[in-house]
Amino acid sequence: MPVQVTGEIVSNTKAGDYHVLTMTGKGIPEDAKPGQFVALSVGGELGSTLLRRAFSIYKAQSRGAYGGTIDIVVSPHGPGTDWLANQQRGDRVNLIGPLGKPFALPRDPVPCVLVGGGYGSAPLFMLADALAARGCRVDVILGASNGSKLFGVVDARRIASTLSITTDDGSVGTKGRVTDLLPRVIQRAQSAVVYACGPMAMLRAVSEVSTANGAHSQTAVEESMACGIGVCMTCVLPVIGDDGQTRMVRSCVDGPSFHGNRVRWDAVGTVPEGTIGAPIAGGH
């Protein structure tokens, strides 16, 4: 069950274009599972930015010099993330977590590929540890627009059987996209599952390439949220349920990880025809 707690920033370190924030948050690190996230309030108690910002949990340590801590990765690109990136050791933050469904783990020790776009790779390293603990081979592909937007290369080297890197500008690794390399990685390792986190367009492509190469995919979406706990109804996307019906589901509580072939990628940002309760002509 998620908790709402006041935590303290333990460290704030730059990693390329990103900030890695380590913070305490009693009850959260102890419970956090790979793929879950925290929702942080930003701007302080009297601030004018009321909506919570969601961040994948990058690391969770239940013991340490500061007690339990979690790490998140912040990409400053707006008033809320700019504020967070400026928080220093000793500053207080209010956080709710752990939230969302964890990544589903394979029952058998099958080979897995982890694909991260930009700082979307953040939740993949806890996942890699969990998969390794089950005896799964782990291959990693990291991609970004350029080298300073790659995240987790050192972590990936530590855990992965192979690491492939792509950048749009070719400044690091192979010039191109993660999905250019994905078929070869799947075929070489005979991978059964592909886990991915990053921009929507990347997730769609990963899902399609995985299916075409006979692998399941688990995709963690990044929809903007106001609350993170399931009450605001803003983070919805069209997903096909076990009954074959499409529903607008909340990525915060029903996700953020979905089976890639259950998400109606072509229809994200719309309410596709046939969705349960979809507007009819002249209706809402």
Partner 1 sequence: MMRAVPAASSVDMTTTLAGLELPSPVLTASGCAAAGREIDQFVDITTIGGVVTKSVMREARSGRATPRMAETPSGMLNGIGLQGPGIDSFIEKDLAWLERRGARTIVSIAGGTFDEYQYVAARLAGAEGVAAIEVNISCPNVAERGLVFACDPMASARAVSIVRNVTPAHIPVLAKLSPDVTDITAIARAVVDAGASGVSLINTLLGMVIDTTTLKPRLSGRTGGLSGPAIRPVAVRAVYQVRAMFPDLPILGMGGIRTGLDALEFLAAGANAVSVGTVVFNDPMSLVRIHDELADALAERGYSSLREVVSAAHL
Instruction: List, in order, residues 6 or more apart from 97 with CB less than 8 Å away.
Output: 2, 3, 25, 28, 32, 36, 37, 38, 39, 57, 70
Q: Which of 14, 65, 281, 284 contacts partner 1 by CB under 8 A?
A: 284
- Interacting residue with partner 1 among 223, 240, 259, 261 (CB under 8 A): 223
> HSE (CB half, 13 Å, CA atoms) of 40?
28
E-assigned strands of 16-126?
18-24, 37-40, 53-56, 59-61, 69-74, 92-99, 112-117
Residues 2-21 that bind partner 1 (CB under 8 A): 2-5
When asked if residue 278 is in the footprint of partner 1 (CB under 8 A), the reply is yes
Query: Which window, 108-116, 120-128, 157-165, 223-231, contacts partner 1 (CB under 8 A)?
Result: 223-231
Distance CA 234, CA 126 (A): 27
Give residues 226-255 in contact with partner 1 (rule: CB under 8 A): 226-227, 229-237, 247-248, 253
Of 52 and 59, nearer to partner 1 (C-beta) is: 52
Among 10-18, 64-72, 206-214, 269-277, the segment contacting partner 1 (CB under 8 A): 269-277
Range in contact with partner 1 (rule: CB under 8 A) among 49-57, 120-128, 132-140, 168-176: 49-57
Under rule CB under 8 A, how many of the chain's residues touch partner 1? Answer: 43
- Smallest gap, in angstroms, from Cβ of residue 277 to partner 1? 4
Task: Evaluate whether 2 touches 100 at the Cβ level (below 8 Å).
Answer: no
Residues 82-141 binding partner 1 (CB under 8 A) are: 94, 96
Read off the DSSP letter of residue 65: B
Residue 121 has what DSSP assignment? Answer: G
Q: Of 42-50, 134-142, 143-151, 173-181, which segment contacts partner 1 by CB under 8 A?
A: 42-50
| Amino acid identity at 207 | S
> In whole angstroms, what separates CA 112 from the centre of its chain?
16
Kindly report the length of the chain.
284
The secondary structure of residue 44, as a DSSP letter, is -
Residue 90: closest CA among 22, 10, 12, 19: 10
Question: Residues in the site for partner 1, rule: CB under 8 A?
Answer: 1-5, 27, 41, 48-52, 80, 94, 96, 223-224, 226-227, 229-237, 247-248, 253, 268-271, 275-279, 282-284
